[in-house]
Chain A
Amino acid sequence: MPSTAASRILEHYRPPFDATAVKKIKEMGGIVVGKTNMDEFGMGSTTEASAFQVTANPWDLTRVPGGSSGGSAAAVAARQCMVSLGSDTGGSVRQPASFCGVVGLKPTYGRVSRFGLMAYASSLDVIGCFGSTVADAGMLLHAVSGYDRFDSTSSKQDVPEFDTQFLSMDSFESKPLKGVRVGLIRETLEEGVDSGVRSATQEAASHLEALGCVVTEVSLPSFSLGLPAYYVIASSESSSNLSRYDGVRYGNQVMADELNKLYECSRGQGFGGEVKMRILMGTYALSAGYYDAYYKRAQQVRTLIRKDFKAALDHNDILISPAAPSAAYKIGEKKDDPLAMYAGDIMTVNVNLAGLPAIVLPCGLVEGGPSGLPVGLQMIGAAFDEEKLLKVGHIFEQTLKGSGFVPPTLPNVA
């Protein structure tokens, strides 16, 4: 099956092996329906950086589905498939889940093998799951999880049977989440967040309280450092991971009579603008004289972020926040303003830096589009505690009044 990472440089590439996650799905009898669109090499938040096409959001075809795994989110939202896989390096599964009104599940780093995942940022990448319900996403995650000897960063932690915990609503008690301590991250409701998103989040918090949760505000002082640290680490690692795309062994090669010209033309013509920009940024950040000031420093900041999360999760079962500062915006709206686009990742990147699991599920609608635009609630758990996230998420979802987030393009689908 062609695998292009939405890039011209891999336009006709067909890999000779399956990713471990895909292999596991096939072994369990799963049917791979097809491949979806994405931002080139995972770099982007809208699929506008795909070399081939832009995906439209099923809730409003003039708006972006989010990214980089926008195609996978849209496919599930439009019920073209039951579940889909994506990759989440800085929020690329969670933000599109929010924009498309589906469930997006990011596992702990190391929970799912990265063997066969075309690397973007090695220390941040995870394979994530989309589904129209928490249960579906959870079942997919269970299928692809587990230690893989072909991935030295995969974890030997046991995989609990979290696919069997999704009880039906009838069996819920009156306060099914009694005693669950929920921390609402204060820094995610400050300036820069749409009022609609803020109120949806606060309503979600109230809903959790009604279910028995104890919701308090927590502070993560290092929160705002996440975005710059993320972009330094991600560009640095990706500039290295994308060096293998040189046109020599596979992918599109532009013939030249001199080696440097071959590299220049193959990569110059094969990569899109966003990818080139990040490669340049990353190369700069790792270069002699700058490594200490950028990459090394960013890794030190990462340690602070990890510490803050750990402290907050010592006193809370889960943390919650919006998944994105806004709902889906118009196609083309942020294309020429990369920094504005990057700023949209603020809610999600810290989770990748800390390697924690998180789930995004639709919690409300805001104005826009033919029938409103979905907004997702992000729940963050402690490392390898996907079980708890799925439990809370499932109960939240099942008890949400007026739920069934179905895009207007599908009027007859429940």
Chain B
Amino acid sequence: MSTTLFRTIQPNHFTLLTTALLRTRTKTSRHISVRCQTSTTTQQPRTSAPKNHGSNKLDEILKDYEAVIGIETHVQLSTSTKAFCSCPNSYGSHPNTSICPVCMGLPGALPVLSSKVVDFGVRLGLALNCSLSLKSKFDRKQYFYPDLPKGYQISQFDVPIASGGYVDVDIPLEFGGGHRRFGITRVHMEEDAGKLLHSDAGDYSQAMIVDLNRAGVPLLEIVSEPDMRSGVEAAEYGSEMQRIVRYLGVSNGNMQEGSLRCDVNISIRPIGQAEFGTKVEIKNLNAFSAMSRAIDYEITRQALLYNQGQADKIVTETRLWDEGAQKTVTMRKKEGLADYRYFPEPDLPEVILTQEYVDSIRASLPELPEAKRRRYEAMGLGIQDVLFLANDVSVAEYFDEVIGKGADVKSAANWLMSDIAAYLKNEELSISDVKLTPHELAELIAAIKDETISGKIGKQILFELLAKGGTVQGMIKEKDLITDPVEIEKMIMKVISESPKQLEQYRSGKTKLQGFFAGQVMKMSKGKANPALLNKILLEKLNAKE
């Protein structure tokens, strides 16, 4: 990752950097993420930065600067209709098949607010620990573009539905771990614009094709405080947003579909400086990993300019992340701030919430990712397990059900994280698709724990249950496991008689050889012997006085 970042920076640095890079490759990102000192915003204490290894020229430069990153997230809500009309809100329909006079902006059409949008807005505002505005309103944000049918977007300007919140995240272990809290400035409701498709990419003389299926789809815009300091932190913030909206069920949070869109605002400043540097916006980020890389690239680009005394070359602009070239490129320079001529939307009344309404929504919120993570931690699971299990709400729910039936926590976690996760990945399924029910997984764990079956048999049963369903008890019967002590004794005597040398060694003190005998019996029984019985009888026989 780091190598590609620097390839496009001025060539005279390249040779200096390459060897240093190859040596410190895996460490560089960690340096960037933890180097920055505490800023003026409230932050949890960071993990201490590891010392520099030798002279890494870029690291030397970067350590003098601090990145200030804020993120604007647009979440497309999974309501059944659009925000202001009853057109279906469904992704992937044929162009211009989900439109009506209202979302097309025909003369005489008027918007009517869907109450679900307010519901989802309150839900998300509460989940992000915000204060809700019991009275808010809509405003018109005005500009001309072919994908904006009315020539204005219905949005919220000065009185958003929610503001002043925060989100707690856990940084993944491979990036240093630790907790962070990032502030949320505001959450507001607005409508999406349509989609523009160029009929011939890049050639302006060709027509622009307008698809209005998306025009009027409800969005919630989340604006963060500029609290992030690295690509890693930003990516984790974005992931948590995705987790939260999926947990709440307000959106499917798919970046590829465009139901979760993140724009990054980033500036850097010399450490110790109070004023912010010039802010650059980065768009076109299709994945959190791209976000992280784009930010790291941009930090470096700006730091190098500063370092060369060319800070004035950093201008307020929008840059696009070029995934192919792995760099940010200028999209358009902002000539001052756009004037959207905001004024209150006269066609819609104020949005008024009662405290009872807010309280009832608060009471209906599910356990959110942060609460789940802390609960899992309290149960004794390691942070790696915690992050895995809490990442996907369906997995967490499955896990909760399994342990709810009394299964051992660590075993349940292990099965989910290893064999089951691998199976899901291979078959490209989600946890909701598997035929193995939480009840049966709990049964399986119990059966292995009380030694009714061996771990190996357990695994076999697992795969069959995953693919075909069924019950553990049923499988045990099917596998024709040997639970008859007489039969097991027979096999044990046979193995003992065939291994006199090991028997002597055992009897003279090498008690560890019990495992050898057990293994041989298992082999003979093709794994079907009941491990508990086997070991009980084996011990008897081994220790019997001849």
Contact = CB atoms under 8 A, between A and B. Distances in A.
Contact of A115 (B108, B208, B341, B343): B108
A286 B152 contact: no
Given A152-B348, A286-B341, A3 B101 contact: no
B236 to A, nearest CB: 36
A116 B122 CA distance: 32
A283 B341 contact: yes
Contacts of B212: 249
Contacts of B149: 244, 249
A13 interface: yes
A3 B105 contact: no
Interface in B133-165: 140, 142, 144, 146, 149-152
Contacts of A152: 110-113, 347-349
Contact of A243 (B110, B113, B144, B346): B144
A315 interface: no
A3 B105 CA distance: 15
B345 to A, nearest CB: 8
A291 to B, nearest CB: 7
A27 B342 CA distance: 39
B109 A122 contact: no
A149 B114 CA distance: 12
Given A152-B347, A152-B348, A257-B204, A244 B142 contact: no
Given A19-B108, A116-B108, A249-B104, A243 B152 contact: yes
A287 B338 CA distance: 11
A82 interface: no
Interface residues of B, number: 32
Interface string A149-191: 1111100000000000000000000000000000000000000
A237 interface: yes
A10 B67 CA distance: 52
A257 B339 CA distance: 26
Given A237-B346, A248-B210, A287-B341, A258 B107 contact: no
B205 interface: yes
Contacts of A258: 204
Nearest to A286: B341
Contacts of A117: 108
13 contacts: A10-B107, A15-B108, A114-B108, A119-B347, A123-B346, A152-B111, A152-B112, A152-B347, A153-B347, A246-B144, A249-B212, A263-B144, A286-B342
Interface string A256-299: 01110001000000000000000000010011100100010000
A327 interface: no
Contacts of A283: 341
B107 A3 contact: yes
B513 interface: no
Contacts of A16: 101, 106
Contacts of B348: 152
Q: Which 3 A-B pairs have the closest CB atoms?
A: A243-B151, A122-B346, A286-B341
B346 A244 contact: no
Contacts of A263: 144
B110 A150 contact: yes
Contacts of B142: 240, 243, 286
Interface in B304-345: 339, 341-343
A15 B343 contact: no
Chain A contact surface mostly: loop
A259 B469 CA distance: 59
Contacts of A119: 107-108, 110, 347
Contacts of B112: 149-152
A237 B345 CA distance: 9
A245 B204 CA distance: 23
Contacts of A116: 108
Given A150-B112, A249-B149, A236 B106 contact: no
A246 B341 contact: no
A118 interface: yes
Interface residues of A, number: 41
Contact of B339 (A5, A13, A153, A288): A288
Interface of B: 101, 104-113, 140, 142, 144, 146, 149-152, 204-205, 208, 210, 212, 339, 341-343, 346-349
Given A153-B110, A288-B339, 20 more contacts: A13-B107, A15-B108, A16-B101, A114-B110, A116-B108, A119-B347, A122-B347, A151-B110, A152-B349, A240-B151, A243-B144, A243-B152, A244-B107, A244-B149, A246-B144, A246-B151, A249-B210, A258-B204, A263-B144, A291-B341
Contact of B101 (A17, A237, A295): A17
A38 to B, nearest CB: 14
Taking each of A17, A149, A244, which has the highest tally of chain B beta carbons within 10 Å of its own beta carbon?
A244
Contacts of A259: 146, 208
Contacts of B339: 287-288
A47 B346 CA distance: 27
A243 B342 CA distance: 14
A186 B204 CA distance: 62
Contacts of A243: 142, 144, 150-152
A288 B341 contact: yes
A15 B151 CA distance: 19
Contacts of A257: 204-205
Nearest to A17: B101
A245 B104 CA distance: 11
B146 A248 contact: yes
A236 B108 contact: no
B522 to A, nearest CB: 73
Contacts of B150: 243-244
A162 B225 CA distance: 57
B140 A249 contact: no
Contacts of A291: 341-343
Contact of B343 (A151, A153, A240): A240
B105 A236 contact: no
Contact of B109 (A5, A115, A287): A115
A244 B205 contact: no
Contacts of B105: 244, 249
Nearest to B113: A152
A152 B204 CA distance: 40
A153 B349 contact: yes
Interface string A228-255: 0000000011001001111011100000
A244 B341 contact: no
B152 A240 contact: yes
A86 B101 CA distance: 22
A263 B142 CA distance: 15
Contact of B108 (A118, A287, A295): A118
Interface string A101-116: 0000000000000111
A118 B107 contact: yes
Contacts of A246: 144, 146, 151
A114 B111 CA distance: 11
A195 to B, nearest CB: 39
A250 B144 contact: no
Nearest to B146: A248
A14 to B, nearest CB: 11
Contacts of A13: 107
A152 B107 CA distance: 16
A5 B107 contact: yes
Nearest to A248: B146
Contacts of A244: 105-107, 149-151
A240 B140 contact: yes
Interface in A119-136: 119, 122-123
Nearest to A284: B341
Nearest to A154: B110
A10 B106 CA distance: 11
A122 B106 CA distance: 15
Interface in A333-370: none
A150 B109 CA distance: 8
Contacts of B341: 240, 283, 286-288, 291
A292 to B, nearest CB: 11
A150 B393 CA distance: 38
Taking each of B101, B108, B140, which has the highest tally of chain A beta carbons within 10 Å of its own beta carbon?
B108
